[in-house]
């Protein structure tokens, strides 16, 4: 179990795909945990096109041990020598009848605990009770996104499309044509697999056309402390993998 190839692909192309992060039983346990926790409240968003749970670990704490299995802990350790921690956890359920699609974009916002007037922190938002902010670019460059797929996902049920190497161009204007759409790659993921991504990688997803669900847990990790008085809204440490003792 070595993720050196995924680390190289993530750095060079801005994304990487792996197939067997979780077993069938582990996925069943994760889904049961989420289903038992579904309730109304500010972190829960329900529409005909999407069900989402924000601040997932805070709102469904039983998920933590299920998500952070040996493979995920080893993956995070292999991706960086630095001390990374979890800064965002969201559950997305794109129902089978969903007409929701997302145009090409970069993930430029992080969630913080308060609003403060600071240099290089721009584009403040306040949605669903959360402050969002575009931080200094080095924080975005050092973010690692891991999207855990609870269903097999292909081009017919909303698999992410990406523009390889687009993360190397920095922040791209939404109306810019400074990328080659012909290089588009569709990230088809097996159930229990995961997609790794840099948030500056241009990505999009289509509507569902095959009547199948696409349930994903979106995790973001970082190593930076934010400029005071700001702090990450979510901040969870990661257990280090324990070496096998013979």
- Read off the pLDDT of residues 92-121 as tens digits, 9 standing for 90 and up: 988 777 777 888 999 999 999 999 999 999
Handedness of CA 108, 111, 117, 123 (dihedral sign): positive
Phi, then psi, of 56 in degrees rounded to 5: -60, -45
Q: What is the pLDDT of residue 178?
A: 60
Once rounded to an integer, what is the mean pLDDT over residues 12-26? 97
CA 28 – CA 55 distance, rounded (Å):
21
Query: Is the pLDDT assigned to residue 20 strictly greater than 70?
Result: yes
Each residue of 115-146: pLDDT tens digit?
Answer: 999 999 999 999 888 999 999 999 999 999 99
In terms of pTM, does the model score above 0.85?
A: yes
Q: What is the pLDDT of residue 94?
A: 81
Phi, then psi, of 204 in degrees rounded to 5: -155, 170
CA 65 – CA 90 distance, rounded (Å):
16
Domain map of the chain by residue range? 4-222
CA 147 – CA 220 distance, rounded (Å):
9
Q: Decide yes or no: CATH 2.160.10.10 for domain 4-222.
A: no
Q: How confident is the model at residue 245 (pLDDT cuts 50, 70, 90)?
A: very low
Averaged pLDDT of the chain: 90
Query: Is the pLDDT assigned to residue 242 strictly greater than 60?
Result: no
Phi, then psi, of 66 in degrees rounded to 5: -70, -40
> Is the CB of residue 147 less than 8 Å from the CB of residue 208?
no
């Amino acid at each position: 179990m070595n993720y050196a190839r995924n680390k190289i692909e993530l750095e060079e192309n801005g994304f990487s795909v792996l197939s067997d992060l979780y077993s069938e039983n582990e996925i069943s346990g994760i889904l049961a945990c989420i289903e038992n926790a579904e309730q109304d409240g500010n972190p829960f968003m329900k529409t005909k096109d999407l069900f989402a749970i924000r601040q997932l670990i805070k709102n469904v704490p039983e998920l933590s041990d299920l998500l952070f299995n040996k493979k995920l802990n080893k993956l995070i350790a292999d991706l960086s020598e630095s001390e990374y921690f979890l800064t965002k956890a969201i559950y997305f359920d794109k129902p089978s009848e969903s007409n929701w699609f997302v145009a090409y974009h970069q993930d430029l916002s992080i969630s913080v605990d308060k609003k403060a007037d600071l240099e290089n922190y721009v584009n403040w938002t306040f949605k669903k009770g959360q402050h969002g902010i575009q931080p200094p670019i080095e924080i975005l460059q050092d973010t690692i996104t891991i999207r855990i797929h609870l269903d097999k996902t292909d081009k017919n049920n909303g698999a992410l499309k990406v523009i390889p190497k687009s993360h190397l161009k920095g922040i791209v204007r939404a109306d810019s044509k400074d990328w080659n759409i012909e290089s588009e790659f569709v990230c088809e993921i097996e159930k229990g697999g995961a997609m790794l991504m840099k948030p500056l990688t241009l990505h999009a997803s289509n509507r569902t056309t095959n009547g199948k669900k696409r349930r994903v847990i979106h995790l973001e990790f970082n190593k930076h402390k934010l400029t005071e008085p700001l702090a990450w809204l979510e901040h969870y440490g990661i257990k280090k993998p324990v070496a096998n003792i013979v």
